[in-house]
Amino acid sequence: MANPLMLVAVCSAKVLAQQQMPVPRNVIEYSPLDANPFPLKKFRGDWAEEKSFYGREEFDLTLSRVAAIIVRTSLLWRADKPGIRTRATWMAPKYIFVTGGVVSSLGKGVAASSIGCLLESRGFKVTLQKCDPYLNVDPGTMSPFQHGEVFVTEDGAETDLDLGHYERFTHAKLSRDNNWTTGRIYETILTKERRGDYLGKTVQVIPHVTDEIKAIIRKVSEGVDVVIVEIGGTVGDIESLPFLEAIRQMRLELGAENTLFVHVTLVPFIAAAGELKTKPTQHSVKEMLGIGIQPDILLCRSDHHIPGELKKKIALFCNVAESCVISMEDVDTIYAVPAELSKEGLDGQILRLLKLESRPANMQPWIDLVHHMHHPLGEARIAIVGKYVQLEDAYKSLREALLHGGLAHNHKTVLEWIEAEEIDSPETAAARLHGYDGILVPGGFGKRGIQGMIYTIQYAREHKVPFFGICLGMQCATIEYARDVAGLKQADSTEFDPQTPHRVIYKLRELLGVDEMGGTMRLGAWTCRLVPGSFAHKAYGTLEISERHRHRYEFNRDYEKTLVGAGLKITGRTPDENYVEIVEAPEHPWFLGCQFHPEFKSKPLEPHPLFAAFIGAALEHKKQRLRPTSSGVSERQSEPALRAAPRANA
């Protein structure tokens, strides 16, 4: 048997020898004060795989062996002496699971986004994921009236609108891995079963479905400190049970210090009694406990502030700490939510429960943002003529991007939603659209309301009102120009009239013969080159951009010569010049149509250049319109002659 003292001496000698060895080139050194940990693969080099020349491997305590031990135990290793720069190590990410109870539409997406914003303000790197319980593979083929907006990521995934909130509130780079549905998970499992991956086993919800859910959650955890997972639906729904069971298992596997359950619930105010009622919250938590999940933090949604006495009652009956009962009162803008939750101490409780380093928070940019929203210099009135205006969530990112465009000029953006079908003639268009500072026609699919959009665009072009057309809006602008300027009276899109003699817009060449609807569009980020001096170039300040797309039809370049000859400007194309991306009208203060969706990349602290430019043009148009004429009388800003659709303010 070896002498223990001899073993200690040998180990000490190895450590000393290793410390004197030169640091390999692929080892990254950092200070313990550095904010972002490095991925493991960056600091484990070939030297970690070399066999030790010191004898028995199990007694090797050199740095190469320490790194391997860290990988297997997920422990954070640091230098004994503070201030000495050491090799970076990997620390397992923390997981925050956001669930909702009582009713839907409580704002789980905004809550999850706000948590991400708070953690980023303290220097942590986060990512967010949405798990939807419905059986659709993705929301791409769902009606906007059913599901709201389809948000498109850089890699072309058609996802839930909550991913738009995630990107607007944080710097997380999201992809198709950040949004999963029950349908997509079952599709993956059935593909594996048909391939024989389960080796003849009986495929069941537990463990196969829950294991797949845990795998997709872990898949997005690389390179981040905290993963925030929103579970869609309401606790008690049959559809969401596999997701809740999966996160229950993750708590069991990873421990309480690495997982956190945040439950968003409702505390309604009963006007007849003049009281806030906690019973719905108690029952919602009871439902969670029946599944095996004890919420750590309760976000209590209400239109009234929840006083301390009521928080104490909720804490007692729901078995949570009083400091973890957070009042999430209604606010006039969602961008005030992070700062309000910070005032309630939410971020401090998250750091405490997850044993995260307590770093100073910097919420000043968000506080300043809300201040500017509450103290604008003026307002811009924008008319949005679209197909789905009855449900604002159908244009969620668009609405937010327009508000961001106003914030770029420290102005409020007042939006008026107008149903395209109501504009049935040029005279109606003039009556409805007179007095607005700018006009926007958004995206959509199908023939309904197209003629109303074309009348709208004709009015904007002829009356020099700043116009912005997005996706379908750009295609309608092309059709209007072909009909009313180029003289092609029957010009149309094959989407609306397959037999049209002038197909100025037609189906993507790559999709000819493809009849399936799901995922069969030009999706995701594509590069576009701009013409110098164009409206687009002036807005972006660069000649090459990248924007996200979601369309099935395109500009027919067979008509390019005819339309350009009539004055239409093509100011954006793909580098290979196969696709027309941007069109502009001549002799107009600001008229631009783009095939892509710029609203998907706009953020409150980083307004998109095109929306900032559009609102800037609208404000200039307002200024010119209200300027006194030679007779000393200015045009008064009049209200629409007919009632507009629901109104939304910044």
Catalytic residues: 471, 597, 599
Cβ atoms within 10 Å, residue 488: 20
* DSSP reduced 3-state for 544: strand
Question: What is the Cα–Cα distance from 268 to 106, expressed in whole angstroms?
Answer: 12
Six-digit token pair at 24? 């390999």
Cβ atoms within 10 Å, residue 588: 18
Question: What is the Cα–Cα distance from 57 to 2, expressed in whole angstroms?
Answer: 15
Q: What region, left, alpha or beta, does residue 541 occupy, with left being phi > 0 and alpha being psi -120 to 50 degrees?
A: left
Question: What is the Cα–Cα distance from 431 to 272, expressed in whole angstroms?
Answer: 44
Six-digit token pair at 351? 């750091």
Six-digit token pair at 13? 């000698």
Six-digit token pair at 474? 């750009």
Cβ atoms within 10 Å, residue 57: 9
Question: What is the Cα–Cα distance from 382 to 88, expressed in whole angstroms?
Answer: 52
Strand arrangement of the beta sheet that strand 297-302 belongs to: 179-181, 126-132, 226-231, 94-100, 259-266, 297-302, 325-329
Question: What is the Cα–Cα distance from 439 to 434, expressed in whole angstroms?
Answer: 10
Is 239 within 8 Å of 133 (Cβ atoms)? Answer: yes
Six-digit token pair at 10? 């040998």
Is 218 within 8 Å of 208 (Cβ atoms)? Answer: no
**Residue written as token pair 């010049």:** 577
Cis peptide before 207 (omega within 30 of 0): yes
Question: What is the Cα–Cα distance from 304 to 646, expressed in whole angstroms?
Answer: 25
Three-state secondary structure of 549-609? EEECEEECHHHHHHHHHCCCEEEEECCCCCCEEEEECCCCCCEEEECCCHHHHCECCECCH
Sign of the CA dihedral with 63 first, then 65, 69, and 71 last: positive
* DSSP reduced 3-state for 629: coil
Burial environment of residue 605 by CB neighbours within 10 A (0 to 12, 13 to 18, 19 or more) = middle
Question: What is the Cα–Cα distance from 614 to 136, expressed in whole angstroms?
Answer: 36
**Closest C-alpha to 354, from 244, 461, 225, 496:** 225
Is 625 within 8 Å of 637 (Cβ atoms)? Answer: yes
